[in-house]
A and B are shown apart, each in its own frame.
Chain A
Amino acid sequence: MWKDFIEPEFELPNIVLERKLEGFEDATQALAKIRIVELTGFNKKRKELSKAFQHILVLSSRFIPGYSFEVLSFSFEVDGYPTEIIVEDGIGDELEPNRFDGTEVKYYPNSQEDLEAILDKIFETKKFNNVVGGIMKLARSGSKNHVESDLPF
């Protein structure tokens, strides 16, 4: 009774983002980390995200235990797009300087290509680059008495 099912060819947003993040650690001389954390169970009480699969993108450093900075959060349904992206406020201020300050900067890319274009813009912002630079500087000074941290954030 069943015909063969076909998987769509697009990449899911978390896979696209993972691919974008390749090489990040090397570019920071392993002083900073960036990772996607899936929100599940208790953590999934983020009222600003409206879709089923919810993730956050977090900067941290193995040399600064406990430190974290959330770059963005995103959510999507099983069909991947449109993806809902909410950008950290400082990054959002730079990307959308003329918006009313009371609102979060949200994007809804309809395709993999749109998503990649938005991610490129986010990673090029001064705020993102300043935070990474700041983490590197702090991590370098703290790396002398380094305590490895394995918590996600």
Chain B
Amino acid sequence: LNVFFWNIGNKSCIKHVVRATQCYDIDILILAECDSEIARKGIGKILNKHGFTVNSTPGCDKLFIITKKSIQFSLFKQDTHFSTFCANKIIFCAVHFPSKLHATVDRQRRLSERACQAIEETELRCQHMNSVMVGDFNMNPFDEPMISFTGIKSTNHSTIGQRAYTRDDESAFLFYNPTWTLYGKYQMSPGTYKYSNLGHNVLSWHLIDQVIIRPSLIQSFDFDRFAIVQTIGRYSLCTNAGKPKVSDHLPICFTLI
């Protein structure tokens, strides 16, 4: 199952998106900031001819979810900031959380908690925990809401078990965040988004487009194919200086075997 996520920044990039579905043999395509009806119709119309279905997500307009027709798709909890769905018996929660410019850390933590609750409800309903959260979190893997026990609870510890953890009398299952491994793979530009306005915080590259998985999926996650997408075919998505040029975000793609 090949999954591709891209915040296209409301840029006209129909041809890049269509090309990506071929180059990366995409099964599930998730786009954020694809707000224009014209762009959605354009992408939908072309991809429909290539064997894809545009999925309606009433309640979540921030994400545009397209799957191969062969994928069994069913919809679960929808929210302005996330969409929960099942694809071939894997539970997905696609997210686009507000940026730090518009939301406090506490607000981001609260939204993270809500998205986690949506996954937990879906897991209860589906009677399994093969779940993936993917999208533009607008947070780095080390930011507090990503790692907080009252937020997303995603750890960098790949051998975490599948048992629930208890803190302060509250039990919860953790996520594993494979995005940490990308720091080693992309040493020159470790991120999907570059924000160069250096202030007190001196980070330039941010890995805010991420995927996190339940421990039960670690064995199925193809770490070698997990990538920040810098080229689609021969076309580079970055300037010579390495900065994203089509959208202000670079896509990510991953494979579940």
**B80: Cβ under 8 A from any A Cβ:** yes
| Residue contacts A-B, CB under 8 angstroms, 30 given | A45-B170, A59-B59, A66-B76, A66-B125, A67-B75, A68-B77, A68-B78, A69-B77, A69-B79, A70-B77, A89-B79, A89-B80, A89-B81, A100-B102, A101-B103, A102-B98, A104-B107, A104-B110, A131-B58, A131-B59, A131-B78, A132-B58, A134-B56, A134-B57, A134-B58, A134-B59, A135-B58, A137-B56, A138-B56, A138-B58
Residues on A lying within 8 angstroms of B by beta carbon are: 45, 47-48, 59, 64-70, 88-90, 93, 100-104, 127, 130-135, 137-138, 151, 153
Q: Which residue of B lies closest to A135 (CB)?
A: B58
A99 to chain B, nearest CB (A): 11
* Structural contact, B79 and A66, CB atoms closer than 8 A: no
User: In the complex, which residues of chain A have a beta carbon less than 8 angstroms from the beta carbon of B113?
Assistant: 47
Assess the A65–B58 pair: CB atoms within 8 A.
Answer: no
> Are A88 and B80 CB-contacts (below 8 A) given A67-B75, A102-B107, A103-B107?
yes
B121 interfacial by beta-carbon distance below 8 Å: yes
Give CA–CA (A138, B85) in the complex, Å.
Answer: 14
Chain B interface extent, by class:
20 to 34
Question: Chain B, 98-110, contact with A by CB distance < 8 Å: what is the 0/1 string?
Answer: 1000111001001
Decide yes or no: A101 and B75 within 8 Å by CB, A66-B122, A69-B59, A131-B58 being known contacts: no
The answer to whether B75 touches A64, judged by C-beta atoms less than 8 angstroms apart, is: yes
Scoring A65, A68, A70, A90 by chain B CB atoms within 10 A of each residue's CB, the highest score goes to A68
Which residues of chain B (91-148) have a CB below 8 Å from chain A? Answer: 98, 102-104, 107, 110, 113, 121-122, 125
Q: A65-B74, A102-B103, A138-B56 are in contact. Are A88 and B79 (CB under 8 A)?
A: yes
B61 within 8 A of A: yes
Instruction: Using A88-B79, A89-B80 as known contacts, list a sample of 4 further A-B pairs with CB atoms less than 8 Å apart, ordered by residue number in A.
Output: A47-B110, A65-B74, A69-B78, A130-B61
Q: Given A69-B79, A89-B81, A90-B80 in contact, is the A130-B74 Cβ separation under 8 Å?
A: no
A151 to chain B, nearest CB (A): 7
Q: Which residues of B contact A134 (CB under 8 A)?
A: 56-59
- Chain A residues closer than 8 Å to B98, beta-carbon distance: 101-102
Q: How far is the CA of A88 from the CA of B103 in the complex (A)?
A: 15
Residues of A within 8 A of B61 (CB): 90, 130
- Minimum Cβ distance to chain A for residue B227 (Å): 31
Q: How far is the CA of A132 from the CA of B104 in the complex (A)?
A: 30
Residue of A nearest to B110 (CB): A48
Give the chain A neighbours of B125 by CB distance below 8 A. Answer: 66, 151
Interface-central residue, B57, B74, B77, by most chain A CB under 10 Å: B77
- How long is the Cα–Cα vector from A151 to B57 in the complex, in angstroms? 20
B57 nearest in chain A by CB position: A134
Determine the distance from Cα of A34 to Cα of B234 in the docked complex, in whole angstroms.
50
Set of chain A residues within 8 Å of B102, measured between Cβ atoms? 100-102
Q: B111 — nearest CB in chain A belongs to which residue?
A: A89
